[in-house]
Amino acid sequence: YAMLLSLIFLIVLVAAVVGFVFRHEIKTNFETNLNLALRDYNVTADWHSEAVDTIQRTLHCCGVQNYSDWERTDYFTQRGIPRSCCKSQDDCSEEDLKDPSKAKLKVFVDGCFFLVTSTMESKMSIVAGISFGIACFQLIGIILACCLSQYITNNQYEMV
């Protein structure tokens, strides 16, 4: 049992170190994937498009760096900026979304990349605290399992 807990503890420790060391690559990879999701965005509501819509609605953002990122997509040439960028769904017509100058007043202008990464970084202290607490419980479990093993080995019972 102690060996299993030690193995899990080491896996979590390695994952934390790798995440910390490669955090810049993770950001770059996220930005690349967000750009790809915008490029491939479509009306058929695949899971990439739904993820983009959810991020834009939840964080009140639009595009990767800003709302003008949508102008370089195929979706913009057909339908304009997606409705998930609108500040108010009632005050957002398709004609407004096709005209970037009008859309600027109707949609969120901030990009999603900065908001997602800053939200993740602000929550990292909470994640680190919870992870540290779990690691402490794992270490206590490892120590207690080793003590129990030692106790059992030292106190052999007589066979009847």
Token pair in block for residue 70: 């949508």
pLDDT of residue 65: 92
Is the separation of the CB atoms in 94 and 80 below 8 Å?
A: yes
Is the separation of the CB atoms in 30 and 113 below 8 Å?
A: yes
Task: Give the mean pLDDT of 103-132.
Answer: 86
Which comes out higher in pLDDT, residue 4 or 46?
Answer: 4
Task: Give the mean pLDDT of 35-50.
Answer: 81
Q: Which of 11-15, 20-24, 26-30, 111-115 has the lowest mean pLDDT?
A: 20-24
Query: What kind of architecture, by CATH, is found in domain 1-158?
Result: Orthogonal Bundle (1.10)
In this prediction the pTM is 0.68
- In this predicted structure, the answer to whether residue 155 has a pLDDT above a threshold of 80 is no
**Res. 60 pLDDT band, cuts 50 70 90:** very high
* 77/40 Cα distance (integer angstroms): 13
pLDDT tens for each residue of 82-92: 888 998 888 88
Dihedral-angle region of residue 47 (phi above 0 means left; psi in -120 to 50 means alpha; beta otherwise):
alpha
Task: Give the mean pLDDT of 28-45.
Answer: 84
The number of angstroms, rounded, from the C-alpha of 42 to the middle of its chain's C-alpha atoms is 22
Q: What percent of the chain has pLDDT over 90?
A: 16
Token pair in block for residue 31: 């930005």
